[in-house]
Amino acid sequence: MVALVRGQNSDLVRSFNSHLPLPASSSRKTCISSFPNNCVIMRPYTTYLLGLLGAATVAFARTTELVESNTISLTKDTFYDFIEAHDLVLVNFYSPSCKHCQKLAPKYEEAARELKENNVPLVKVNCMEDLQFCRDMDIDYLPKMEVFRGLESREPYRGDRTTESIVAYMIDEFMTDGSGEGLYYQASA
């Protein structure tokens, strides 16, 4: 990157690789040669670039902070072992690019936080990363939530997609044998 800098006596061409860098505290009047009346006072490029680099680093650090999630992300490699190890699990099959999935995500996360106390895990499977696994599980639309009671028992979630409904439905499933005829089913019928 080369800048044309008008000094006290003559025009000087400086670059970042120059062995005569401009002092950090100096300001120079910079002009575009074909427009001599359009001159501005500028500090050396390095000051601005370092400032931009610092701002970009801070912005990146803020967006990549680790947020503790109450939902558990599973893949095809971890799914079966996790389901087998737990008596009752609600699984959300989703895609990060799906608008309905994005709308459900904060509600599902909040429900997972509330159900964590009752040891009812809410898990999620990203069908964009494990497309073949979702096909093998007969997932035909997204988001699709299913209740698992071990690997043998699997039924679709039949409640609303709100935090309160998810919590009530899963507490009802927790207190019943999984027939779907508990308090939540009676209240919504």
pLDDT tens, residue by residue, 48-93: 655 666 666 655 544 444 567 899 999 999 999 999 999 999 999 9
Can you tell me the distance from the alpha carbon of 59 to that of 154, in angstroms, rounded to the nearest whole number?
Answer: 43
Return the CATH class of domain 72-188: alpha beta
Whose CA is closest to 169, among 97, 92, 98, 90? 90
pLDDT (0 to 100) of residue 117: 87
pLDDT (0 to 100) of residue 176: 85
Between 39 and 67, the higher pLDDT residue: 67
Q: Which of 31, 39, 98, 134 is catalytic?
A: 98
What pTM does this model have? 0.61
39 a catalytic residue = no
pLDDT tens, residue by residue, 129-155: 999 999 999 999 999 999 999 999 999
Can you tell me the distance from the alpha carbon of 152 to that of 154, in angstroms, rounded to the nearest whole number?
Answer: 7
Q: Which of 31, 39, 101, 134 is catalytic?
A: 101
Can you tell me the distance from the alpha carbon of 47 to that of 3, in angstroms, rounded to the nearest whole number?
Answer: 14
Q: Map out the domains of the chain as residue ranges.
A: 2-63, 72-188
